[in-house]
Amino acid sequence: MIKRTAIFAALIAVAAALASQEEPPAIRTEVAPATSAIRIDGVIDEEAWKNGPVITLPTEWYPGDNTPAPVDTDCLLTYDRHNLYIAFRCHDPEPRKIRAHLMDRDAIDTFVMDDHVSVMLDTFNDERRAFQFRVNPLGVQADANYSEQDGYEDFSWDAIWSSAGRITALGYEVEIAIPFHQLRFRRTAGKQTWGFSAGRSWPRGDRHRMDSQPRDRDNNCVLCQFNKITGLENISPGSNIELDPTLTVQRSDAHSDFPGGAMTAGTIQAEPGLTVKWGITPNLILNAAVNPDFSQIEADAAQLDVNTRYALYYPEKRPFFLEGADIFLTPFEAVFTRTVADPLWGVKLTGKVGRGVLGFFAAQDRINNLIIPSNQGSEAASLDEDVFAGVLRYRRDIGNSSTLGILYAGRSGGDYYNHVGGIDGFFRLGKRDQVRFQYVRSETRYSEVTASAYGQDDAAFPGDAFYAEYVHQSRNWFIYGAYIDKGKGFRADSGFVSRVDTRMFDSQIQYNFWGKSGSAYNRLSFWLRAYRTCDHDGLLTDSRIALGGVCEGPLQSTATLIARANREHFAGILYNIDDLYAEVYVKPFSGFSLGVYVNPGHAVDYANERPAKRLLFGPYLEAGIGRHLNLNLNHSLERLSSEGRLTYTANLLQAKLIYTFSVRAFARAILQYRDVDRVPESYAFKVERASRSLFSQLLFSYKINARTVLFLGYSGQLQGNQDIDLTRSNRAFFLKMGYALGI
């Protein structure tokens, strides 16, 4: 504890001694009130646009390094009491080559393959967080929060705003209206000054990225380089109230005696719910929900779990928890809201208070989902018992761009509880260097039944964890070093910690070569990474030395090659498990991307406790067929063998087909087929020779905005093995409606 206290004191002393470095003066643009009404239709013909300022995008920052933009772009700005208006004129020498497809809002992986424009607004002008809005030439929206400290773009954040776009004979035009009550900024009678950046993505042979200001590759702070807009006055973020009533109706059917017996129809269940969103102050938002709709309509991407030791991670997708998610980010994932599975109610408070950021949520869950971690593996438990969950987070700004924060996360119910609390800090040392730390301590008590079932202590026990990191990032160099310590008794049941009893030293050094105009590559990077993990008894459990390289080149291509020398301790034996990883990815033309990875090498057969050889192979493809149809295919193959004899072959095929009728409506089909073929003679115990499953989901979606929605869908599961053909085991029908009502 003395050493850790000394580290904390040193880090805080470093933060206090930070010397600010002068930045080039930001260009300020005065924005004037609109002189006429503006209709958001993608036609820039209103009188108001003729009288406002015009901001050009003269600079390409990738692949060029602040070189002249290859195409001309004008950004126009004005406002009234209710909205900020932004328009883009995007000139293009060959409009027929404009890449534009209809898709769901925030389908960001597909969206970034299209031409599009973007705006980032640092509304507090503190260079810490920004709102981001993107629009493609057909008016499709994507919006996000950007956290400078975490380098985190959160596209799960949804605002209600308007956009429209159209392709013209000279390129394309976009109009945007962002209501001020959807933003957060200081309430003041004087003129507002915001950080501002306008951007354009022009994907052709390369994805040319242009901004309204240069980007210094020797400065790892993005928001610090923004220009400013000023002149905004007599505007208010409002203390508005939004009511979001929802209704979810579903019926689940299942076999009475699988695989025999008839399919038994379940009862129709109707679940009304209500979420209230209240701006208590202009910058502090309360979300409260009774019988909340925390359902998700996107199927999780399936993962192969045939030869794994630790719990699989699936990202959060539920809007209630995603809003303000960056506030709860810390080096240890002490907050992972998917642990809240079936809540009866929930309340959440997020926002900015002076120089601090506050986050709080609480919920009563009808299921207690736990991860029981250790050094050598983890087990998942789902207990049919009520549990109360609560998280409190406060992060205070220190100096120009550093922070100190505290975190509490707890769960309790019956004889069980888990409490986690600690402190963390982020300190930016000039343009290129930063340090980060976190210390958390937990106290846990399992019920007697749970402790007995999972081999845990039935008395309360403590645990702690510590994280320290240094990063140097400049135009050519990336240097990283970290120490991560998780004690044997550390638990974070409100988070995702699948392994404990580890002390890890991690380091990486990387050098970047930047191509020039006409070069065969845009960026060529080589790196060396090494880490070493021991348990708290000093036993080596994992180590790696990896040498890798990546080349970013024409046709938006990326080629990666990594050679790794790994060692892993399992069941009393230290294994050498060297491997090779190679991946190629390319976007050769509009709406089309193709990639493949291969990973051959040595491995551990955990089931049979012996050395093995493993091959992972995975092709993937996305194709936009016309403006409306999108096909996404990916396949994963895993093959394991020992002593020259095959152990198993596992295949996972996932297909997604989406037809988008308009910016508001789409129909989607998802198929996930899993096939595992084992060689029973290669196992030390009895196993099934084959197991197969087929999951399907059909969905129709209509969205007037991010929260006024209609979903109608079906999902079903088929299962089989060596004795049973694929047979339907269950199916479900669902209807979900939501409506956003502002007061």
pLDDT, tens digit (0-9, with 9 covering 90-100), for 315-362: 555 666 666 677 888 899 888 777 777 788 888 888 888 888 899 989
Domain end residue (candidates: 530, 558, 593): 593
- Does one domain contain both 451 and 558? no
Could you tell me if residue 225 is inside a domain?
yes
662-671, pLDDT tens digit by residue? 999 999 999 9
For residue 2, what pLDDT is reported?
44
Same domain for 182 and 54 = yes
Question: What is the reported pLDDT for 298?
Answer: 53
Same-domain pairing of 198 and 138: yes
Instruction: Provide the 3-class DSSP secondary structure of residue 707.
Output: coil
pTM of the model: 0.85
DSSP string, 343-405: EEEEEEEEEEETTEEEEEEEEEESSEEEEEEBSS-EEEEEESS-EEEEEEEEEEEETTTEEEE
Please determine, for residue 724, whether its predicted confidence score (pLDDT) is greater than 70: yes
Average pLDDT over residues 477-500: 93
Domain that holds residue 111: 31-232
Distance CA 689, CA 710 (A): 43
Q: Is the pLDDT confidence value at 27 over 70? A: yes
Report yes or no on 701 lying in a domain: no
Would you say residue 618 lies in a domain? Answer: no
Task: Provide CB contacts within 8 A for 356, sequence distance 6+.
Answer: 394, 395, 396, 397
Residue 557 within a domain: yes
- Per the domain annotation, does 541 fall within a domain? yes
Q: 220: buried, middle or exposed (CB in 10 Å: 19+, 13-18, 0-12)? A: buried
The verdict on 135 and 216 lying in the same domain is yes
Examine the domain organization and report whether 459 and 502 are in the same domain.
no
Q: How far is CA 276 from CA 230, 352, 580, in A?
A: 33, 19, 51
Q: Is residue 649 part of a domain?
A: no
Long-range contacts of residues 280-283, Cβ cutoff 8 Å, at least 24 apart: 280/239, 280/349, 280/351, 281/239, 281/351, 282/184, 282/185, 282/186, 282/187, 282/236, 282/237, 282/238, 282/239, 283/184, 283/185, 283/186, 283/237, 283/351, 283/352, 283/353
What whole-number distance in Å separates Cα of residue 407 and Cα of residue 153?
22
Per-residue confidence (pLDDT) for residue 743, from 0 to 100: 67
- Looking at the structure, do residues 183 and 60 belong to the same domain, yes or no? yes
Answer yes or no: is pLDDT of 299 > 50: no
Do 196 and 330 lie in a common domain?
A: no
Q: Average pLDDT of 30-51?
A: 94
- The mean pLDDT value for 125-148 works out to 93
Per residue in 172-187, pLDDT (tens digit) is 999 999 999 888 888 8
In a domain? residue 129 = yes
Query: What's residue 723's pLDDT?
Result: 85
CA distance 443 to 433: 34
Q: DSSP assignment of 648-697, as one string?
A: EEEEEEEEEEEEE-SSSEEEEEEEEEEEEEE-GGGSSS---SEEEEEEEE
Q: What percent of the chain has pLDDT over 90?
A: 60
Rounded average pLDDT over 714-733: 89
Lowest mean pLDDT among 271-285, 453-467, 685-699: 271-285
Q: In this structure, how many other beta carbons lie within 10 angstroms of the beta carbon of residue 604?
A: 23
Work out the pLDDT band at 169, boundaries 50, 70, 90: very high
Name the more confident of 732 and 57. 57
Total of domains in the chain: 3
The pLDDT of residue 23 is above 80 = no
pLDDT at res. 303: 47
Same domain, yes or no: 454 and 583: no
Arithmetic mean of pLDDT, 3-12: 52
Q: Is residue 98 part of a domain?
A: yes
Provide φ and ψ at 9, rounded to 5°.
-65, -40
Using DSSP, state whether 212 is helix, strand or coil: coil
511-554 pLDDT, tens per residue?
Answer: 999 998 778 899 999 999 999 999 999 999 999 999 999 999 98
Residues 102, 39 share a domain: yes
- Over residues 60-88, the pLDDT tens digits come to 999 999 999 999 999 999 999 999 999 99
pLDDT tens for each residue of 394-411: 999 888 789 999 999 999
* Rounded Cα distance, 43 and 41, in Å: 6
Q: Is 327 found in the same domain as 404?
A: yes
Q: Which value, to the nearest 10 degrees, does the dihedral of the CA atoms of residues 276, 280, 282, 287 take? A: -30
| Res. 310: pLDDT tops 50 | no
> Distance between CA atoms of 465 and 477, rounded to whole angstroms?
30
State the pLDDT at residue 233: 92
**Among 588, 591, 594, which Cα is nearest to 618's?**
594
CATH assignment of the domain containing 63:
2.60.40.1190
Domain end point (choices 542, 577, 593): 593
Alpha carbon dihedral 92, 96, 102, 106, in 10-degree steps, equals -30
Q: Please state, rounded to an integer, the average pLDDT across all residues of the chain.
A: 88
Whether residue 516 sits in one domain with residue 382: no
Q: What is the pLDDT of residue 280?
A: 80
The answer to whether the Cα torsion of 453, 339, 571, 639 is positive or negative is: positive
**Residue 234 clears pLDDT 70, i.e. is over it:** yes
Per residue in 567-604, pLDDT (tens digit) is 999 989 999 999 999 999 999 888 899 999 999 999 99
DSSP strands (E only) in 41-99: 54-56, 59-62, 67-68, 73-79, 83-91
Q: What is the pLDDT of residue 388?
A: 93
Q: Are 222 and 161 part of one and the same domain?
A: yes
Q: What is the pLDDT of residue 20?
A: 42
- The last residue of one of the domains, among 566, 593, 620, is 593
